[in-house]
Amino acid sequence: MRRIRLACLLLIFVQVQRAVLGTHDVYIVTMEGDPVVSYQGGVEGFPATAVDLDEEMDVTSEAVASYALHLRGHHDKLLDSLLVEGTYEKLYSYHHLINGFAVHMSSLQAEFLRKAPGVKHVERDMKVQKLTTHTPQFLGLPTGVWPTGGGLDRAGEDVVIGFVDSGIYPEHPSFAAHKTDPYGPVPRYKGKCEMDPVTQRSFCNGKIVGAQHFAKAAMAAGAFNPDVEFASPLDGDGHGSHTAAIAAGNNGIPVRMHGHEFGKASGMAPRARVAVYKVLYRLFGGYVADVVAAIDQAVHDGVDILNLSVGPNSPPTATRSTFLNPFDAALLSAVKAGVFVAQAAGNGGPFPKTLVSFSPWITTVAAGVDDRRYKNHLTLGNGKLISGLGVSPATHGNMSFSLISAADALLGSSATKYSALDCQRPELLNKRKVQGKILLCGYSFNYISGTASIKKVSQTARSLGAAGFVVAVENSYPGTKFDPVPVSIPGILITDVSKTEDLIDYYNSSTIRDWAGRATAFKATAGIADGLAPTLYNSAPQVALFSSRGPDVKDFSFQDADVLKPDILAPGNLIWAAWAPNGTDESNYAGEGFAMVSGTSMAAPHISGIAALIKQKNPKWSPSAIKSALMTTANTLDKGSHPLRAQQYTASEMMTLSRATPFDCGSGAVNPKAALDPGLVLDATHEDYITFLCSIPDVNQSEVSNIAGSACNSNSKGRRPFDLNIPSIAISQLRGTVTLKRTVTSVSDETETYTIMTRMPPEVALEVTPPAVTVLPGASREVTVALTARSVTGTYSFGEIAMKGDRGHLIRIPVVAMGFK
C-alpha cells in the first residue's frame, strides 16, 4: 500500500512539474566532443574511430560501437542529472555525424540545459516540407552514359542511394528484384529493414536494401495521427516512391494508365540500390529532429548518395548564419564521410531569394522543363480552335458533340448546399441531359486547395455518360500551376481566361432558352483532339516557373550570401515515375501506379541518380569532386543551341520567357556524358568548409564550433566566403578590385593544356591569370581571378570563366558580382 502511495505521489509530482514548466517542444542539443565520424581519440578507453576519406569505416567494429554507446550514455547521464524524470523525453541520440540528441521538453528546461557544462547549442525543432519516362533519353543516358558503366544492365550497380522522404511502395515493379538478373548483396551497407506491421513482410528485397521510418519528433509534437499515417516505411503519400524511381527505378517498366501506355520508365541509375529513410508524412510534412536522425542513420549505414527532396520552411532563425543549423551541419558531416548530397532548391519561384537549400557542400538542384509537352485543343462548332491541356483520347470518331454546362444540368434545387459547377458530384447533375454531350465545368478555388480534381471531373462525366468534358478557368489565380492530367475519357483544361471567354460567349449565343432562362436546346458543339501523344520541342530545357531562385541568403534578414545557388538544373516538370496507389499527395493520381508530377523534388533525384553513375565509374572521388564534375560540364545552351531561358512572370502576371541567369539555373543544365569525364575538378575538403563558415562576416566563431563541431583556426584569418574552392564565384558587394584563387585538379589520364577565356558585362572587369595552364594527370594548378567594379548599377552582372583543353575537355565556372561604391 505504501509503494502505491509513493508511486501516486511521484506521478502527481511529475504532473505538477509539467504544469509549472509549461508547453513542451522538441529541441535539438549539440554537445562537446567529437561524433564517431570525426573522433580522433583522446577519451580514455576509446580508440579513434575517424578514418581517411579514401578508407571505409567499419560501423560494426567494436571501436565504433563502444564509442557510440559512450556518447549515448553521456547524453542520458546529462539529462538524468539536470531534469526531473518524467518531465522530458529523449527522442534520439545523434552520435555518428553530430554529437547530440533530440529531446521533448519545456522552454524553461531548454534554457536550463543551455547553461549546462558540456552543452554547446540548443535549438528548437522546426518543420520541413516536400519540394514537389522520357528524361533518360532527353539526358542522353542510354547511348552516352550507361554503356560506359557496362550497359543499362549494370548502370549504377551496387551504389546505394539513401532517400530521406515519405517512404516507399515496395510492391511497385520499379523496385522489384529481378528474377533473371538478381541483385546480389552489398556487404558494406549495414542498414536494417523494418517489417510491414500488417503483412509481416520485410520492406527489402535486394533492390531495396534498407527501410526505416523516423517519427519520434512528430509524435512528441502531437502531429502524428496513427489513424491516417503509417508507422512504417510504407509510402502513404506517393512522393517518396516517385523520387526513388526517378533516381534508381528499374529500367523498361511500362507506364500504363487508363488503357494507354505512355512509354517505359527508368531511373537514372537503374541498377543502383534503394535505402529508405522515411521522415515525411501525409498531414504535416516532417520535423528536422527526425530528418537529422535519418541522415545520421543513413551515413552510419553506409549510403553513397543522399537524396533530399525536402527542405525547411524558411532560413533558420536561431543562428546568425543560414549555413549554421543542425540540418546543414549533419549534411556537412555526411559530406565529410564521403556521401554526396543532392537537395531540391524549393518551389517558391519565380521570385528571388526563395531557395530552401543554402550551403556550398550541398548540391542544390533547380527544376527544368524538358522537351516533352502535353498539349491539346478544342474545336468549336464556329471553327475556332481553343488550346488547352489534356492527356486524353479524342472524342469518339474525332466527331463534335453538343456542349452542356454544369449550370444547365443541375437537378432542381438540391445543388444549393454544394458547388456543382466544378463537376465533383455527379448526383447533383441530370444524367438524361448530360448523356452524349460534352460537359462544361468551371474551375474553382477547390482545385487549388486540393478538394477538387480533374480526375474527379473525369469520373463524374463518365458516370453520367458524357462524351467528354471541358474544365474552363474563368478567373486568374496568380501563382497557380496548371498541369495536364491523364484521364480515361476525352477531356481538356482551358487555362487562358480570354479563351474561356470565347468559349462561354459561343456557348451562350448558341444555347436556346425559355422565358425563365432555362436551356431548351443545346446548339453549341465541340470536339476534343487526341492529347495522348506529347510534342517534342527544341526550346528545352527551360527553368520551370515554380523553381526557386537565388541569390542565396546568408541570414534570416535575407542579406545576399557570397555563394551561388542553385548549383545546377535538372528535369523537374511533368516527370512520369512510380506512385503509391494509396498516395494522397496528388488527388489526380489516387489509386494509380504511376504519376506525372512536377517540382524541384523531381529534379533532385535526377542528379542523385547521375551522381551514382559518376560514383560507380570513379569510386574514390570526393562529394565535392562529383559536384564539380556535374557543374563545370553543364550545358548553357538549349537543344536548339540558344541560351537557356527561364519562365518568369510579367507585371500583369502572365508567364513569359527571359534569358536564364545563374540565379535561375546555377551552372546550367546537367550533361551526364560530359560529367563522367570532366578533365578537371575543383575539390574542397571539410577543413575548407569550416574555413568558409569562419570567414562569414559577423559570424560568431563559437557558433561554428558549437554547431559544425570544428573550431576556427589561423587559416581562417583574412579569408572571405568567396575564397572557397568551389566551381562558381559569387560576390554580393564588389568594391574596387577583388582578387581570389581557384585550384583545378586533373582527373584525366593524359596531360592537357587548357586555354582560359572569360566573359563578363562591361560593368565588371574579369581577368584570369595565367591565360593558359598545362595540367599533368592527378596534378593541380592554381589560377588567379581578378574582378573590378567599373560602375555601380545596383544589379548583378553575370559572366563565366571557360577552360578549354587541347584534348577536348571544356569546363565553365559561372561568375556573379554586384558592384558597390
pLDDT score for 136: 58
Q: Which residue range is the domain that position 573 belongs to?
A: 160-371+539-676
Question: Residue 71: which CATH number?
Answer: 3.30.70.80
Backbone angles phi, psi at 569, to 5 degrees: -110, 135
396 belongs to a structural domain: yes
Q: Residue 776 carries which DSSP code?
A: -
Q: For residue 365, how far is the Cα from the chain centroid?
A: 7
Q: Residue 523 carries which DSSP code?
A: -
130 belongs to a structural domain: no
Closest Cα to residue 247, out of 568, 571, 569, 542? 571
pLDDT score for 134: 46
pLDDT score for 431: 94
Dist CA 140 CA 610 (whole Å): 11
Dist CA 59 CA 37 (whole Å): 10
Catalytic center residues: 165, 239, 601
Helix (H) or strand (E) holding 92: strand 89-94
pLDDT score for 262: 82
Going by C-beta distance under 8 Å and a sequence separation of 6 or more, which residues neighbour residue 581? Answer: 169, 591, 592, 593
Residues 363 and 379 in one domain: no
129 belongs to a structural domain: no
Dist CA 343 CA 327 (whole Å): 12
Dist CA 591 CA 774 (whole Å): 58
Residues 414 and 508 in one domain: yes
Going by C-beta distance under 8 Å and a sequence separation of 6 or more, which residues neighbour residue 387? Answer: 375, 376, 377, 496, 499
Q: For residue 611, how far is the Cα from the chain centroid?
A: 15
**E-assigned strand segments in 333-467:** 340-344, 363-369, 372-373, 376-380, 385-388, 401-405, 438-442
* Other C-beta atoms lying within 10 Å of the C-beta of residue 187: 8
pLDDT score for 1: 44
Cell numbers of 36, please? Answer: 564517431
339 belongs to a structural domain: yes
Going by C-beta distance under 8 Å and a sequence separation of 6 or more, which residues neighbour residue 380? Answer: 386, 502, 503, 506, 524, 525, 526
- By the 8 A CB rule, do 820 and 733 touch? yes
Residues 760 and 810 in one domain: yes
Q: Report the domain count for the chain.
A: 4
pLDDT score for 376: 86
Residues 544 and 667 in one domain: yes
Residues 475 and 567 in one domain: no
**E-assigned strand segments in 187-258:** 208-213, 253-257
Q: Which CA distances in Å does 814 have to 566, 601, 791, 805?
A: 11, 24, 20, 18
Q: Which CA distances in Å does 470 have to 51, 479, 500, 533?
A: 62, 22, 10, 19
147 belongs to a structural domain: no
| Burial zone of 190 (CB within 10 Å; 0-12 exposed, 13-18 middle, 19+ buried) | middle
Residues 506 and 573 in one domain: no
719 belongs to a structural domain: no
138 belongs to a structural domain: no
Residues 380 and 367 in one domain: no
Residues 479 and 464 in one domain: yes
Cell numbers of 603, please? Answer: 529534379
Going by C-beta distance under 8 Å and a sequence separation of 6 or more, which residues neighbour residue 545? Answer: 349, 350, 481, 647, 648, 649, 655
**DSSP-derived 3-state class of residue 202:** strand
Dist CA 694 CA 700 (whole Å): 8
The bridge status of strand 160-165 relative to strand 273-278 is: parallel
Closest Cα to residue 369, out of 165, 534, 207, 230? 534
Question: Residue 360: which CATH number?
Answer: 3.40.50.200
Q: Is the dihedral of CA 476, 480, 484, 487 positive or negative?
A: negative
695 belongs to a structural domain: no
The fraction of the chain above a pLDDT of 90, given in percent, is 57
pLDDT score for 13: 39
Dist CA 409 CA 401 (whole Å): 16
Q: Which CA distances in Å does 73 have to 35, 47, 67, 76, 421?
A: 13, 17, 10, 5, 62
Q: What is the pTM of this model?
A: 0.89
Chain position carrying cell 581519440: 41
Dihedral angle, C-alpha 523, 529, 530, 536, nearest 10 °: -160
Residues 439 and 364 in one domain: no
Cell numbers of 54, please? Answer: 579514401
Contacts 24+ apart (CB under 8 A), 409-414: 409/433, 409/434, 409/439
Cell numbers of 288, please? Answer: 528536422
Chain position carrying cell 584563387: 741
Peptide bond into 315 cis (omega under 30): no
**E-assigned strand segments in 432-534:** 438-442, 468-472, 491-494, 511-513, 519-522, 525-528
638, 653, 676: which is the final residue of a domain? 676
Going by C-beta distance under 8 Å and a sequence separation of 6 or more, which residues neighbour residue 465? Answer: 431, 434, 435, 436
Residues 521 and 565 in one domain: no
Backbone angles phi, psi at 528, to 5 degrees: -105, 130
Chain position carrying cell 535549438: 123
pLDDT score for 127: 81
Cell numbers of 501, please? Answer: 471567354
CB half-sphere exposure, 128, CA atoms < 13 A = 32
Residues 232 and 277 in one domain: yes
Question: Residue 389: which CATH number?
Answer: 3.50.30.30
Where the chain has pLDDT below 70, the residues are: 1-22, 53-56, 130-153, 179-180, 313-319, 413-418, 477-480, 538, 652-653
Residues 657 and 543 in one domain: yes
124, 152, 169: which is the final residue of a domain? 124
Dist CA 612 CA 630 (whole Å): 12
